[in-house]
């Protein structure tokens, strides 16, 4: 599974839990916060991957 697909799934799961939290389910708030942390981690992985690809492309054009 790609990182983009993972991010999409995490965001959908966050949305479901946040909606439950808004309706008064306090436990869903805890799960939503955990999912946001997962989203943050996945975003960072994507950033590193994109930067690595850009660097490889630049290195191949120089050589």
What angle is formed at CA 60 by the lines to CA 59 and CA 61, rounded to 5 degrees? 90
pLDDT for 28: 98
pLDDT for 40: 98
Query: Structural domain of residue 14, as residue ranges?
Result: 3-62
User: Distance between CA atoms of 50 and 55, rounded to whole angstroms?
Assistant: 9
**Domain count of the chain?**
1
Q: Are 42 and 3 in contact (CB under 8 A)?
A: yes
Q: Are 49 and 3 in contact (CB under 8 A)?
A: yes
pLDDT for 26: 97
Is the pTM higher than 0.75?
Answer: yes
Q: How confident is the model at residue 59 (pLDDT cuts 50, 70, 90)?
A: confident
Query: Would you call 31 exposed, middle or buried from its count of C-beta atoms within 10 A (0-12, 13-18, 19+)?
Result: middle
pLDDT for 21: 98
pLDDT average, residue stretch 22-29: 98
């Amino acid at each position: 599974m790609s990182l983009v697909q993972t991010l999409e799934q995490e965001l959908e799961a966050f949305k479901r839990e946040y909606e439950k939290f808004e309706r008064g389910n306090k436990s869903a708030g805890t799960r939503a916060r955990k999912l946001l942390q997962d989203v943050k981690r996945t975003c960072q992985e994507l950033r590193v991957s994109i930067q690595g690809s850009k660097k490889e492309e630049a290195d191949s054009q120089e050589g």
